[in-house]
Amino acid sequence: MLSVAVLVIGGFALAHYFLPKPRDSETLCIEGSERGQTIVLVDKTDKWNPEQADRLEGHIKNILNQEMKQEERLWVYAFGATFKPGFKHNFTACKPPDGRECKGFFCNRKQLEDQYNKQFLPPLVAEVQTLKVPMKGDCSPIAEVMVEIMSRVEIKRQPGSTRIVFISDMAQNSSIYTAFRGSPTCAGTSRGDPDRDTGLLDYFQRYKGEMRLSDTSVLIFQVNPDGRAPDVRTRAMAKWDEVFHQLRLPAKWERL
């Protein structure tokens, strides 16, 4: 009888150890198992063309499939011309296993495949289809959005490394700073020399103590809208490189 009891107890212990822990029904995250996060910020004020829209979708899928690790948290935010503090994410979930590495008696490949392909992917793909549609906007509050998101408690408390992904022209256009010359298109913007204006740096200097910056990197897929003056793109890159240097964030630029 004792040996039977030992076997039963041992069986329960093994099952407890090897069987997958329960996931949150909405985020698919396992409490205590999350590691790292990828934060995708989509600037909907950029007028990208249909080909660039397809590339946007492809980049998000590539990051998911090639860069993100299992149990890493994905956050997707989209923003337009009007900045509202506290705006909600468009999508968030932890990346669950897809079943390809399923091995052993306690691993249910079919269950993992269904979880990935029916619970995780469909809402993300549906949201990306919506994000692909640009919105017209005279303002572009990129800096305000970055400070807002990177200062949120759920972002700062997330264990592991952080990857910020911008899909934007990075041409800030708000009362903080504008990368454009000529008559202002956004209310409250300065008419000064955008090459000498330090408004963008000053803004991040003011708020960097509130932001999640440790073990954080930045990847930018820069949109180049049709008909845009070429100096805007180069100026935006130069100004944001100053910001990333100030915040000690390694940054990589790619064209959308």
pLDDT in tens, 17-50: 444 678 888 888 998 888 999 999 999 988 888 8
The better pLDDT of the pair 133, 11 is held by 133
Please indicate, yes or no, if residue 122 is contained in any of the structural domains: no
pTM of the model: 0.86
Write out the residue range of the structural domain in which residue 81 sits.
Answer: 36-97+131-255
**pLDDT tens, residue by residue, 43-95:** 998 888 888 888 988 999 999 889 999 999 999 999 999 889 999 999 999 99
**pLDDT tens, residue by residue, 113-149:** 778 888 888 999 999 898 888 787 789 999 999 999 9
Please indicate, yes or no, if residue 46 is contained in any of the structural domains: yes
Separation between Cα atoms, residue 215 and residue 242, nearest integer Å: 19
**DSSP per position, 35-97:** --EEEEEEETTS---HHHHHHHHHHHHHIIIIIPPTT-EEEEEEE-SS--TTPPPSEEEE---
Residue among 187, 180, 143 at smallest CA distance from 164: 143
Mean pLDDT estimate for the chain: 85
CATH number, domain containing residue 162:
3.40.50
CA dihedral 255, 49, 38, 155 (to 10 degrees): 120
The better pLDDT of the pair 45, 7 is held by 45
Per the CB < 8 A criterion, the answer to whether 110 and 85 are in contact is: no
Please indicate, yes or no, if residue 16 is contained in any of the structural domains: no
Residue among 120, 73, 108, 63 at smallest CA distance from 94: 73
Residue 68: what pLDDT? 92
Please indicate, yes or no, if residue 119 is contained in any of the structural domains: no
Residue 3: what pLDDT? 53
Average pLDDT over residues 164-185: 88
Q: How many domains does the chain have?
A: 1
Please indicate, yes or no, if residue 161 is contained in any of the structural domains: yes
**Neighbour count for residue 80 (Cβ, 10 Å):** 19
Residue in the block written with tokens 């100096």: 231
Please indicate, yes or no, if residue 121 is contained in any of the structural domains: no
Please indicate, yes or no, if residue 173 is contained in any of the structural domains: yes
